[in-house]
Amino acid sequence: MQLKRVAQAKLPTPWGCFTIVGFEEIATGKDHVALVFGDVNDQTSILTRVHSECLTGDALFSLRCDCGFQLEAALKQIAKEGKGILIYHRQEGRNIGLLNKIRAYALQDQGLDTVEANEQLGFAPDERDFTLCADMLTLLGVSQIRLLTNNPEKIKVLEQAGIKVTERVPLEVGENANNEHYLATKANKLGHLLHLHPGNH
């Protein structure tokens, strides 16, 4: 177990009142949170979103990605379901950090795709560690989930870490003229399961 659970409080949102639960990485002190809606301890397969931190998309309304759209859609869907969990995984920019992400954006402005930009900066295409998310789910008492994702790698890592994924629930939102190339790269180079509509904007 790489994490410990340290705090929780009510978090009212436009879609309903969630409970925000704070976790701390034991080795580094880095923090992550989960937003929990309703009763998730009834041993059913819980609708869950593992959402990686994206300051530009989640808070600054960037159209370069689909992250902010996915965050809002997932919270709405969980609230509509009546119970569920959103893991907010604080590994910005596929875990290269905010400033390196801005450097990667600059390289993308020069014509590189997201994978090429990360590699030019000396990183792997995706540096994230989703086993932390499995630890968060375990600490929340959840072992079976229906995962809101387009990324099969999340399913693979969570299952290897002991979380049973009973269903993949697609989360395809936010496609626009600014992120067509980004989404195509996710599909073609990172294996994300997307149905893209190029030019339909």
How far apart, in whole angstroms, are the C-alpha atoms of residue 67 and residue 175? 10
pLDDT score, position 183: 62
58, 66, 128, 135: which is the annotated catalytic residue?
A: 128
pLDDT score, position 81: 93
How far apart, in whole angstroms, are the C-alpha atoms of residue 94 and residue 109? 18
Looking at the 3D structure of the chain, how many domains does it have? 1
User: Is residue 5 part of an annotated ligand binding site?
Assistant: no
In the three-class reduction of DSSP (H, G, I as helix; E, B as strand; rest coil), residue 40 is classed as coil
Closest CA to 87 of 16, 138, 41: 138
pLDDT score, position 192: 65
pTM: 0.88
pLDDT score, position 115: 87
In degrees, to the nearest 5, what angle opens at C-alpha 5 toward C-alphas 144 and 88? 65
pLDDT score, position 201: 42
Task: Respond yes or no: is residue 126 known to be catalytic.
Answer: yes
The answer to whether residue 200 sits within a structural domain is: no
Closest CA to 87 of 126, 142, 127: 142
Mean pLDDT per block of 10 residues along the chain (201 residues) reads 94 97 94 96 89 94 90 96 95 90 93 88 86 93 93 89 91 71 62 58 42
Q: Which amino acid is at 168?
A: R
The answer to whether residue 109 sits within a structural domain is: no
Q: Which amino acid is at 93?
A: G
Q: What is the CATH number of the domain that holds 47?
A: 3.40.50.10990
Task: Respond yes or no: is residue 113 known to be catalytic.
Answer: no
The answer to whether residue 115 sits within a structural domain is: no
In degrees, to the nearest 5, what angle opens at C-alpha 126 toward C-alphas 122 and 129? 115
58, 66, 113, 126: which is the annotated catalytic residue?
A: 126
Domain span at residue 149? 3-91+128-190
All residues at 6 or more sequence positions from 143 whose CB lies less than 8 Å from its CB, including other chains: 137, 162, 163, 164
pLDDT score, position 38: 94
User: Is residue 53 part of an annotated ligand binding site?
Assistant: yes
pLDDT score, position 42: 74
